[in-house]
Amino acid sequence: MDSPTIPPTNSDDVPVTEARGRNRVFVWFDRRAGINSLLHEALDEPIPGGARWAYVFGSGLLFVFLSQVITGVFLALYYVPSADHAHTTVAYITKEVTAGAFLRSLHSYGSSAIIVVLLLHIAQTFLYGSYKGRRELLWVAGCVLFALMIGMAFTGYLLPWDQKAYFATAVGTNIASEVPLVGEWLKRLMRGGADMGTLTLSRFFVAHVFMIPAAIFAFVAAHIYLFRKAGAAGPISEDPVSPRQKAERFYPRQVTMDMGFALLLIAALGLFAYFVPAELGPKANPAETQYLPRPEWYYLPVFQWLKYWSGPLAVIGILAIPTVIAVLFVGLPFIDRGLERRPWKRPVAVGAFTLVFLALVLLGALSRRDDRRNPGVAAQLAKQREETEAFMRAPFEPETAGSSLAAANVALADPLAARGKTIFETKSCNACHGDGGVGTPAGAKLIGVGAKLPPDKLEAVLRQPTEKMAAGGMTSVKLKDEEMKALIAYLNSLK
């Protein structure tokens, strides 16, 4: 009855010296870490009816999620979540950093892969009736994970801070304001204010990187625990509560199938990421009024659905109907309590599920068709595509740091201050006080001096330095009144 390769015995009974034919290192570790029972627990899970390709989607999801975690952590090496820098840093990753375009594409396409595999996982669970027989909590935990994954896709979309990210999120957060009573407050909560800005980006970043992933880890653990507690449901002919069919252990055949599917997913993602790198559009410009936001493909059905609802009825379409569908979906194992698993014997449930699925596909297709048929929209979308392609072709343009000369020169738009700068340099003030008044070991920093001394005081100490200043080597500045005015204007501009 025991597995031939992984004996579930307690290796504490066997002295290390007697562990013949067995890896002594393994025994050493097992006594301290208990890996033998852990492996037994993980690999010897019984699958009624035997291994099948239909069961690979759950572990496939786990693999893509891990890939998202790894690529996400690496992307954070260069990403800065601020409206000022987010777009530049993503452009830097995409255009300059070695393998940056590839990793960003893996992460970006990974979200689509998760949605696809998630749908397959749900469809398999639904059609096989695998939610039946004391699996309500397992199903609900899965529903929570579904919502969290949708949340990851929504929050991650804004982070590159390009045109489509900005405007799609503006639309997305606007939908929240349709919720009665608390809608406006909800929108402000998400945006961190009335409008989209750098606080919105910070919030989305924290949700995307800390909060939602933490919840996902917790619910994945719960989902797997509840799955192992309930046991694998097996094929549709199996009794979901007390399985009768001959079981096969998880290892090796099911593990091989799961790994095969994971490798297939990773290979597909890798090929896509390598040959069709994810694009980045021009930086978000909130003043742009023409931009037509279009969400990722998996949000298209919802996007289309929202178009049909406006005015006082909007609350029905945007809130009531989706809520009813969500409640029915989450409550499925509580409502559909029969143990019958064969799809053809469950026409209502399977019919409703198929109907919703087809409706989503239809809405998505309609959305695409609407965009194609409206010449104005089609032209604008084509223009946006061109702008994105043009941005992708352009070389990376580093951001000019705030402490830079260019920024300093903006303050010198005032011609009087500009003249003062020339005086500052020709009189060799910069010899001791440094270029731009940054200060040196020989002379004090002059940046911000205008805030400390009003112009008349400043002029007085320049003409007649204090004793302390004179001791430091400051000489009195002899200038004509207008030149002194210019110098003071320049000193005031040093901030």
Partner 1 sequence: MESENQTKDEKREPGCAESSSMTGAHGRRSFLGVLMSVGTVGVGAALSVPLARFALHPTLAKTTETAWSDVGAEDEFSTIAEPAKRLINIEQRDGWRKVVSEKSVYVTKSADGRLRVLSSVCPHLGCTVAWNETKGQFISPCHNGVFAPDGALISGPPRRGLDELETKIEDGRLKVRYQYFRQLVATKEVIA
Distance (Å, whole) CA 292 – CA 380: 7
Range 235-264, binding partner 1 (CB under 8 A): 242-249, 251-253, 255-256, 259, 263
Instruction: Tell me whether strands 46-48 and 247-249 are parallel, antiparallel or unpaired.
Output: antiparallel
Q: Residue 405 CB, nearest distance to partner 1 (Å)? A: 4
Distance (Å, whole) CA 126 – CA 312: 35
Say whether the peptide bond before residue 333 is cis (omega within 30 degrees of 0).
Answer: no
Q: Residue 495 CB, nearest distance to partner 1 (Å)? A: 16
Query: 3-state class of 94 per DSSP?
Result: helix
47 phi and psi angles, rounded to 5 deg: -115, 105
The answer to whether the beta carbons of residues 67 and 106 sit under 8 Å apart is: yes
Q: What burial letters (b/e) apply to 268-294, b meaning 16+ CB within 10 Å? A: ebeebbeeebbbbbbbbeeeeeebebb
Question: Nearest CA to 51 among 237, 256, 230, 226?
Answer: 256
Residue 417 lies near partner 1 (rule: CB under 8 A): no
Residue 425 lies near partner 1 (rule: CB under 8 A): yes
Residue span 349-388 as binding mask against partner 1, x where in contact by CB under 8 A, dash where not? ----------------------------------------
| Nearest-10 Cα torsion for 127, 132, 114, 38 | -130
Residue 103 lies near partner 1 (rule: CB under 8 A): yes
Distance (Å, whole) CA 284 – CA 361: 30
Residue 468 lies near partner 1 (rule: CB under 8 A): no
Q: Which member of 178, 340, 435, 483 binds partner 1 (CB under 8 A)?
A: 435
Using the contact rule CB under 8 A, the part of the chain among 21-29, 74-82, 109-117, 294-302 near partner 1 is 74-82
* Residue nearer to partner 1 on the CB measure, 17 or 98: 98
Using the contact rule CB under 8 A, the part of the chain among 12-20, 206-214, 425-433, 484-492 near partner 1 is 425-433
Distance (Å, whole) CA 213 – CA 160: 19
Cα 383 to its chain centre, rounded Å, is 27
Using the contact rule CB under 8 A, the part of the chain among 197-205, 311-319, 326-334, 436-444 near partner 1 is 436-444
Roughly what angle, to the nearest 10 degrees, separates helices 198-206 and 183-191?
A: 90
Q: Which member of 336, 340, 399, 483 binds partner 1 (CB under 8 A)?
A: 399
Q: Which member of 442, 451, 460, 470 binds partner 1 (CB under 8 A)?
A: 442
Using the contact rule CB under 8 A, the part of the chain among 281-289, 302-310, 423-431, 482-490 near partner 1 is 423-431
Residue 96 lies near partner 1 (rule: CB under 8 A): yes
Question: Nearest CA to 363 among 315, 313, 324, 321?
Answer: 321
Which H or E run includes 247?
strand 247-249
Residue 277 lies near partner 1 (rule: CB under 8 A): no
Query: 3-state class of 55 per DSSP?
Result: helix
Residue 308 CB neighbour total at 10 angstroms:
12
Residue 78 lies near partner 1 (rule: CB under 8 A): yes
The answer to whether the beta carbons of residues 355 and 134 sit under 8 Å apart is: no
Using the contact rule CB under 8 A, the part of the chain among 54-62, 369-377, 438-446, 477-485 near partner 1 is 438-446
The answer to whether the beta carbons of residues 355 and 328 sit under 8 Å apart is: no
Using the contact rule CB under 8 A, the part of the chain among 1-9, 115-123, 181-189, 353-361 near partner 1 is 1-9
Range 132-171, binding partner 1 (CB under 8 A): none
Residue 12 lies near partner 1 (rule: CB under 8 A): no
By the criterion CB under 8 A, which residues form the site for partner 1? 1, 4-5, 46, 50-51, 70-71, 74, 77-78, 85, 88-89, 91-92, 96-100, 102-103, 242-249, 251-253, 255-256, 259, 263, 266, 270, 396, 398-401, 403-406, 425, 428, 430-432, 434-436, 440-443, 473
